[in-house]
A and B are shown apart, each in its own frame.
Chain A
Amino acid sequence: MPKLSAEGQAEAEARLQAILSRYGSRFSDAQKADLRRLCFLAQPPLDHLRAYALKNWDGPALYLKPLVEREKKPARSDKTGASKKPVSTR
């Protein structure tokens, strides 16, 4: 199991409880244990993403297409955050 902060553990537990409250009767004890493990494993990637210092104007890749058809954007002069230097890496 990954080592999580207290907040991370609480979030993972809440995730598990949300699943069990909605679908609990479907699972065997072994599956519930597996779900708990998976809920905890899901936490580190979310923590990594949240720790990545995005600026407000770093928008989502909403077009869901590669950059092939878009012109390369020049770097903004006031943009010094993690778009250039990540805080969290793995």
Chain B
Amino acid sequence: MVDEKIFFLPVSELAKRIESKQLSPVELTKGYLERSAKLGSRFNAYARLTPALAMTQAEAAEKEIHRGHYRGPLHGMPYAAKDLLAVKGIPATWGAKPFADQVFDYDATVIDHLNRAGAVLLGKASMIELAGGMGYRYASASLQGAAKNPWNTACWTCGSSSGSGAIVAAGLAAFAIGTETWGSIICPSAFCGVSGLRPTAGRVSRYGAMALSYSMDKIGPMARSAEDCARIFAVLAGHDFQDRSTLPIDKAAFTFSPSLELKNRSLRIGWLTNAWTKLDASVAKPIEDAKKVLHKYFAGVKNAALPEGPFEDAGGVIISVEGASSFGELIRSGKVSELADPLGQVAGYVSEQISGADYVTALRVREIAQQKMTELFDDFDVLVAASQPIAATRLEMNLETDLAFADPLGGIGNLCGLPALSVPCGFTDKNLPVGLQFVGRAGDDYAVIQAARIFQQHTAWHNKHPKIV
């Protein structure tokens, strides 16, 4: 019988106990499986559990570790993978009814990497249908229904990595894999009070992952701390000959050493003054407190401003057009009508009408955005802002009309493939988590991890978890 506190320990602590044989991967996996079976449906967190596979992997890990062959910090570590990742022989629904029975006969590269590291797959995390690729108006836009926030089940987890956020927040797995095209790791991490890393585009292979936007999709970890994210990212990252969009070997690979990193460079922090038009009053206070922490522990914190331009528009057009292509068959066949969300049933038809010339113009604007952000990073190593201007929203909210606000940081960050890490930085007066976002130059994932780790060394928000009875 595993103590409940164990379920909320970070990977770094669980790994120490597993390596020293104080904690059995088999017992830990059984504990997480039982907890997930009992509580998963309360949050609509899982698309499915994979208990047979999990126990096979956990038993194999335990045998290896007892034989003295410890592979590293993810060996015997139970996790969940967003349901758009191929796992051989197990359905990958992409959160959407038209793909409810889809099964692949191979593993996605990230699953393969996690297998090699000895991680244990507990199940597939629920998600917004097609990762929101056809648009959605309601949190219920998922084959599994609306994902409920473990901090308040009347609230949403955000999407599209909805289940991944709920699973980590509720202590149903040690970590989860999410994906982001625009906001889908950062927002659920903020709403659910967990740490989530959106890596530089091209560092993690997307082979075997559902494609929404060929030039903007990213895969990354959601976990209990920035350090955990770094350890998981080190396993996920790397060039992959099966995904030609991955960066070259020397630019894609990531190694992590906590002791080395903290003695590293002095980071120049830019506090973004135009990331959001306005913060909700309940979010503004924790963000202001977080700013004070940064001023205390970083030598140089100066105001910074994102370049102005139609960069959100460019990102929106690119996602719309690439989504219309990646789901073209679904649109043309009319099977989009099977999607759960009323917006998702029709928006793809509009995306299909955007001209090739407008798409290329958006790509040209992207090049300008990349240059301007590179110039901004001449003065700063890391940019910081609230992850979201609001806390978790009500489940029934119309996201199209009531949650529409400009997101220049999400727009330019995803358009340019920049790394970002969201960490918890406090709570609203309704006890909902608030997130702080660190964004770095392309390829400098290390800087955002370093900044977030320093923040977490001086705060304890990431150690909080919801009371679940």
Could you tell me which A residues sit within 8 Å of B by CB distance? 15, 18-19, 23, 26-27, 31, 34-35, 38-39, 42, 44-46, 48-52, 54, 58-62, 64-69, 72-73, 82-83, 86, 88-90
Contact = CB atoms under 8 A, between A and B. Distances in A.
Contacts of B368: 52, 54, 58, 82-83
B322 to A, nearest CB: 10
Given A65-B202, A66-B201, A83-B371, A60 B346 contact: no
A86 B308 contact: yes
A47 to B, nearest CB: 9
A52 B3 CA distance: 59
A58 B349 contact: no
Contacts of A58: 364, 367-368
Given A19-B353, A38-B350, A61-B370, A66 B418 contact: yes
Given A38-B350, A49-B362, A72-B374, A65 B201 contact: yes
B320, B354, B367, B441 pick with most chain A CB within 10 angstroms: B367
Contacts, number: 133
Contacts of B362: 49
Interface string B65-106: 000000000000000000000000000000000000000000
B449 interface: no
A59 B364 contact: yes
B61 interface: no
B354 A39 contact: no
Contacts of A48: 310, 313
- 6 closest pairs, A vs B, by CB? A68-B443, A66-B442, A60-B363, A66-B417, A45-B313, A64-B215
B310 A27 contact: no
Nearest to B213: A64
Contact of B309 (A19, A62, A72, A89): A89
B249 to A, nearest CB: 11
